[in-house]
């Protein structure tokens, strides 16, 4: 589903991705682990072209996102094409990024209506469904400022899912939440994984990784250091850097 | 705190004292010479001329009566020359102060200057507020685009047309009065200065411009063929030098001086020089 | 009416003139003219300004530069100069009856003031857009929205809330700037008073009337602006209190018999 080949990304002088290569199969749940600055968030953002690669390629379901091949050369794609491909990739952000001027259901149906041109009635149905799935049927007409952090993030997940993406990207979805609210969000994510969604999750929640992930990928200083099933990597890490990192957070 | 307050109070009192001293100085009434033998007209009893200078206010944007010589700040014009001749007759210096026409009477009233000469028609309303010394007789003129496309011959033809005038002039009042006898009202467009009103005519925003006849003729002459003046002078009226009602002595000596330059031929010479021999006071 | 306050000061202020002129048809006509031009120009300026702001922040270099040049010219020259140039000047240059007949004083006033205002609104719009959290654009894009869709549906609605106070300010400034319209022969509020003052010389009295009407308009407008701010604050944590909302709250509470408001 996702094929990353030798990804490089620089921010000014700082090289954040120094040649990342890996694959994610359909239905796989991959957890990206690493210290801040390791490049994991940047990698995620390059998958749906929120950040642009300087070198290397990323294919989602066989297609480049943000680029197209013209006579053997890679050129940046037209905005409408990029938007179309992005619509098939859902993203959930650390700080939720809900639209404050819209209600919960408003947030969820906005993209289906504007991007997929869904008629309002159908969109409302879809919106109610999605919000029910994340357990927020009683909050559909509330504005984000009336919701707790956990509730907001669940709305954000419903919003992303409403576009029926093939792939879901999670950028530290629980890092900004109070501890007692983390569980409700992780539950939603677990159920999503059970339903067979392809997921790439940047997180520090080791418990989640152990329970749900098919693989854990540890990144450090812009490269992948270790890539193994969760039990293996967490309990018997092979590399020094992995061991050092895990000892700090466990 | 009381210390600070006392300092503040002292400063206020000093400032107040200074202001009073300057105010008193402004109304200096003592004789400080001014004029010597030379002039035949006795100006010793005229407080406005104590400093030996005749301060004159004028809207210096009204050729040929008063205007600035091209590219300079030197006033020139019929009114300017007459005022300068009067100053010579009184044996005083002269200084001009440019003032917008519609504010010129209020400016005179608050002592910005002592006499105004600005092609001002003597009217009843104005005479309620200031006194006049009549000095020439002038009528009003209409400027139209060359060829006179609307066939305007007089005031009645302005009904239903758009006419540009300057604010505060009798031309504005005349047009309003004309509306009483119009079926279709005159669309009066008002401007700050007369040159802007002429500009509106030139660029097609108005059908005619209404101003003093000599000014109308001048504007037509310098328009490079775009404008012409309708031949008849409308309602000739005397123009006056304006003085405050309290300036009775000044009024008297101005009258004397005017008579003096009429008698010795300077007056008519100036009028002839400006090609306006017929506007002499009658 | 002369009220001698002492031997030094004699105050003359003719209240009769003020009452007479306050509702004089000439004044009301000029007031209406002022309102029409100000409102139309402001609406035009806001719309054009927002377009310019979106162009300015866009990644398209042509759009961004064009917008920058526009703002540079229209913000960098005085509005009275713009009026003289684009009313008289243009009519002088374009010697066609079709143009001259249709480029009337009123239309020129509205258009030129709108163009001028748009330059200021472009900067306000730009500031407003930049004030929106960048995460909003990230979320919108990640859902598959184009830049323009995101602007229209997500960014601008949030930017507008921030833009309301400075925009209100701009309207008030525009309203007062209309007094320069005399340069192209439009009689608006200030100059209606001026024309009358030239005839009866009651300067203070007549300009008091003009001042009164400006203050009236600005006051009513300010109340409206506060209400607008309150409306756009739906969904935000701090809801601003307006005179109107405070009054309705007090009335409501007293009706319910609650002691403390």
pLDDT, residue B282, reads 72
**Residue of C91, C187, C195 with shortest CB distance to B203:** C91
Are B207 and B247 found together in one domain?
no
Residue C153 C-alpha, separation from nearest chain A C-alpha, in angstroms: 9
Q: Determine contact, residues C122/A66, Cβ cutoff 8 Å.
A: no
pLDDT value at residue B27: 47
* Nearest chain C alpha carbon to A116: C144
Residues B128 and B172 in one domain: no
Looking at the fold, whether B148 and B120 belong to one and the same domain comes out as no
* Element housing C69 (H / E): helix C61-76
What is the C-alpha separation between C237 and C149, in angstroms, rounded? Answer: 26
Say whether C235 and A145 touch across the interface (CB within 8 A): yes
Nearest-Cα residue of chain A relative to residue C161: A101
**Residue B38: per-residue pLDDT:** 40
Residue B30 resides in a domain: no
CATH of the domain at B107: 3.40.190.10
B192 and B54 inside one domain: no
Q: Is residue B42 part of a domain?
A: no
Residue B250 sits at φ, ψ, to 5 deg, of -60, -45
Q: For strand B130-145 and strand B227-229, is the pairing parallel, antiparallel, or unpaired?
A: antiparallel
Given a contact cutoff of 8 angstroms between Cβ atoms, the answer to whether B210 and B158 are in contact is: yes
Query: What's the rounded Cα separation, in Å, for the pair B136 and B282?
Result: 8
Span A208-220, pLDDT tens digits: 888 889 999 999 8
Taking 50 as the pLDDT cut, the residues of chain B under it are 26-38
CA distances from A141 to A110, A146, C155, C177 (A): 14, 10, 21, 45
Q: Which of A84-98, B219-233, C7-21 is modeled with the greatest confidence?
A: A84-98
User: Which of C142, C157, C237 lies closest to A91 in CB terms?
Assistant: C142
Tell me whether C96 touches chain B (CB under 8 Å).
no
> Would residue B96 count as lying in a domain?
yes
Q: Which of B220, B235, B250 is the last residue of a domain?
A: B235
Q: Is residue B33 part of a domain?
A: no
| Confidence grade of residue C94 (pLDDT, cut at 50, 70, 90) | confident
Cβ within 8 Å, pair C88-B199: yes
3-class DSSP assignment, residue C234: coil
Q: What is the pLDDT of residues C32-85, one digit of tens each?
A: 999 999 999 999 999 999 999 999 998 889 999 999 999 999 999 999 999 999
Predicted pLDDT at C120: 96
**Domain span at B67:** 47-136+239-279
The reported pLDDT for the residue numbered B119 is 93
Subunits with 3+ Cβ pairs within 8 Å of A are C
- Give A-chain residues touching C133 at CB under 8 angstroms: 97
What does the pLDDT average to over C224-244? 70
Mean pLDDT of chain A: 90
Q: What is the DSSP letter of B280?
A: B
Cβ-based contacts of C198 with chain B (< 8 Å): 101-103, 167-168, 172
Least confident window among A170-184, B190-204, C220-234: C220-234
Do residues C90 and C156 touch, judged by C-beta distance below 8 A? no
Tokens of A188: 């939603």
* pLDDT single digits (tens) B208-225: 999 999 999 999 988 888
Q: Are residues B145 and B116 in the same domain?
A: no
Report yes or no on B14 lying in a domain.
Answer: no
Whether residue B27 is contained in a domain is answered as: no
Instruction: Assign A64 a pLDDT band (cuts: 50, 70, 90).
Output: confident
For chain B, say whether C175 makes contact (Cβ under 8 Å): no
Which ipTM score applies to this complex?
0.90
Taking 90 as the threshold, does the pLDDT of residue C161 lie above it? no
- For residue C111, the model assigns a pLDDT of 96
Closest of B78, B114, B111, B110 to residue B96, by C-alpha: B114
pLDDT surpassing 90 at residue A235: no
Contacts of A222 (CB under 8 A, 6+ apart): A15, A16, A17, A18, A19, A20, A38, A39
Place of tokens 């001028």: C116
C58 near A CB under 8 A = no
B2 falls within a domain: no
Q: What is the DSSP string of C96-131?
A: -HHHHHHS-HHHHHHHHHHHHHHHHHHHHHHHHHHH
Residues 211-240 of B with CB under 8 A from C: none
Distance (Å, whole) CA B86 – CA B79: 10
Same domain, B146 and B127: no
CA C29 to chain centre: 19
Place of tokens 């939440």: A177
Q: Which two tokens stand for residue B62?
A: 């009204």
The interface residues of chain C toward chain B in range 42-81, judged by CB-CB distance below 8 A, are none
Can chain A be said to touch chain B, i.e. do they have 3 or more Cβ pairs within 8 angstroms? no
Q: Does chain A reach chain C with at least 3 CB pairs under 8 Å? A: yes
Specify whether B172 is located in the same domain as B202: yes
A73 vs A56: CA distance, rounded Å: 12
Question: Could you tell me if B98 and B219 lie in one domain?
Answer: no
Same-domain check for residues B63 and B107: yes
**Inside any domain, residue B202:** yes
pLDDT band at C240 (very low <50, low <70, confident <90, very high): low
Which of B199, B202, B210 to probe the C interface (max C CBs under 10 A)? Answer: B199
Whole-number Å distance between alpha carbons of C203 and A159 = 66
C200 and B173 within 8 Å at the Cβ level: the answer is: no
Q: Which domains does chain C have, with CATH numbers?
A: 25-251 (1.10.3720.10)
**Could you give the number of structural domains in chain B?**
2
Judgement on whether residues B212 and B249 belong to the same structural domain of the protein: no
Q: Which of C92, C93, C185, C203 is the best substitution to test chain B (most B C-beta atoms within 10 A)?
A: C185
Looking at the predicted structure, is the pLDDT value of residue A30 above 80? yes
- Residues of chain C neighbouring A156 (CB-CB closer than 8 A): 139
**Neighbouring residues of C107: CB distance < 8 A, sequence distance ≥ 6:** none
Instruction: Examine residue C23 and say whether the peptide bond preceding it is cis (omega within 30 degrees of 0).
Output: no
Mean per-residue pLDDT for C188-205?
Answer: 88
Closest Cβ–Cβ partner in A84, A100, A110 for C235 = A100
Residue A210 contacts residue A235 (beta carbons within 8 Å) = no
Q: What pLDDT sits at residue B70?
A: 86
Same domain (yes/no): B143, B230: yes
Same domain, B151 and B222: yes
List all residues 6 or more positions away from B199 whose beta carbon is below 8 Å from its beta carbon. Answer: C88
Q: Are B122 and B134 in contact (CB under 8 A)?
A: yes
């Amino acid at each position: 589903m996702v094929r990353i080949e030798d990804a490089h990304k620089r921010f000014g002088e700082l090289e954040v991705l120094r040649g990342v290569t890996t694959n994610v199969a359909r239905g796989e749940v991959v957890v990206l682990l690493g210290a801040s600055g390791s490049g994991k968030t940047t990698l995620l953002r390059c998958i749906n072209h929120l950040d642009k690669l300087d070198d290397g390629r990323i294919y989602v379901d066989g297609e480049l996102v943000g680029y197209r091949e013209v006579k053997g050369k890679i050129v940046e794609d037209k905005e409408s094409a990029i938007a179309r491909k992005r619509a098939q990739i859902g993203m959930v952000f650390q700080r939720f990024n809900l639209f404050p001027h819209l209600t919960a259901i408003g947030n969820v149906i906005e993209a289906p209506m504007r991007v997929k041109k869904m008629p309002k009635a159908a969109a409302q149905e879809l919106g109610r469904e999605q919000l029910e799935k994340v357990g927020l049927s009683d909050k559909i007409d509330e504005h984000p400022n009336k919701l707790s952090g956990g509730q907001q993030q669940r709305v954000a997940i419903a919003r992303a899912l409403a576009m029926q993406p093939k792939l879901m990207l999670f950028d530290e979805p629980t890092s900004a939440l109070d501890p007692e609210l983390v569980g409700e969000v992780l539950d939603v994510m677990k159920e999503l994984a059970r339903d067979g969604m392809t997921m790439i999750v940047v997180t520090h929640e080791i418990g989640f990784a152990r329970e749900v992930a098919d693989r854990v990928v540890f990144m450090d200083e812009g490269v992948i250091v270790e890539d193994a099933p969760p039990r293996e990597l967490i309990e018997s890490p092979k590399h020094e850097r992995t061991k050092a990192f895990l000892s700090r957070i466990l | 705190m009381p210390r600070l307050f006392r300092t503040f109070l002292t400063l206020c009192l000093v400032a107040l004292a200074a202001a009073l001293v300057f105010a008193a100085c402004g109304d200096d009434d003592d004789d400080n010479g001014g004029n010597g033998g030379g002039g035949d007209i006795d100006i010793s009893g005229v407080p406005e001329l104590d400093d030996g200078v005749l301060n004159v206010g004028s809207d210096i944007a009204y050729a040929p009566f008063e205007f600035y010589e091209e590219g300079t700040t030197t006033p020139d014009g019929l009114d300017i020359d007459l005022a300068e001749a009067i100053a010579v007759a009184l044996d005083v210096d002269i200084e001009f102060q440019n003032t917008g026409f519609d504010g010129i009477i209020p400016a005179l009233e608050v002592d910005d200057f002592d006499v105004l000469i600005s092609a001002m028609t003597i009217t009843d309303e104005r005479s309620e507020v200031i006194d006049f010394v009549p000095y020439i007789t002038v009528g009003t003129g209409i400027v139209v685009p060359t060829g006179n496309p609307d066939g305007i011959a007089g005031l009645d033809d302005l009904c239903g047309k758009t006419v540009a005038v300057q604010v505060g002039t009798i031309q504005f009042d005349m047009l309003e009065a004309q509306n009483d006898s119009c079926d279709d009202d005159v669309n009066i467009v008002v401007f700050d200065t007369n040159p802007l009103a002429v500009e509106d005519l030139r660029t097609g925003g108005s059908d005619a411009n209404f101003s003093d006849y000599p000014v109308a003729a001048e504007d037509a002459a310098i328009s490079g063929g775009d404008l012409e003046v309708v031949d008849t002078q409308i309602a000739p009226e005397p123009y006056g030098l304006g003085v405050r009602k309290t300036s009775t002595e000044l009024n008297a000596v101005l009258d004397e001086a005017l008579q003096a330059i009429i008698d010795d031929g300077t007056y008519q010479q100036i009028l002839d020089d400006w090609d306006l021999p017929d506007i002499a006071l009658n | 009416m002369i009220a001698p306050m002492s031997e030094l000061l004699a105050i003359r202020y003719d209240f009769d003139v003020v009452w007479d002129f306050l509702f004089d048809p000439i004044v009301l006509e000029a007031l209406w003219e002022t309102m029409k031009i100000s409102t139309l120009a402001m609406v035009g300026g806001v719309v054009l300004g927002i377009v310019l702001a979106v162009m300015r922040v866009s990644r398209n270099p042509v759009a961004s530069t064009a917008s920058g040049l526009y703002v540079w010219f229209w913000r960098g020259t005085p509005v009275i100069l713009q009026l003289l140039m684009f009313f008289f000047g243009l009519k002088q240059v374009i010697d066609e009856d079709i143009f001259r007949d249709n480029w009337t004083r009123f239309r020129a006033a509205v258009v030129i003031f709108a163009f001028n205002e748009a330059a200021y609104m472009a900067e306000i719009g730009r500031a407003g857009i930049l004030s929106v959290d960048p995460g909003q654009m990230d979320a919108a894009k990640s859902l598959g929205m184009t830049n323009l869709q995101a602007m229209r549906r997500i960014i601008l609605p949030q930017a507008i809330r921030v833009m309301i106070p400075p925009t209100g300010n701009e309207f008030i400034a525009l309203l007062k700037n209309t007094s320069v319209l005399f340069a192209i022969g439009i009689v608006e509020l200030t100059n209606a008073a001026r024309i009358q003052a030239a005839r009866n010389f009651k300067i203070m009295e007549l300009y008091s009337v003009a001042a009164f009407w400006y203050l009236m308009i600005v006051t009513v407008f300010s109340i409206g602006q506060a209400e607008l701010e309150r409306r756009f604050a739906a969904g935000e944590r701090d809801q601003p209190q307006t005179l109107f909302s405070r009054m309705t709250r007090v009335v409501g509470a007293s009706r319910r018999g609650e002691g403390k408001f």
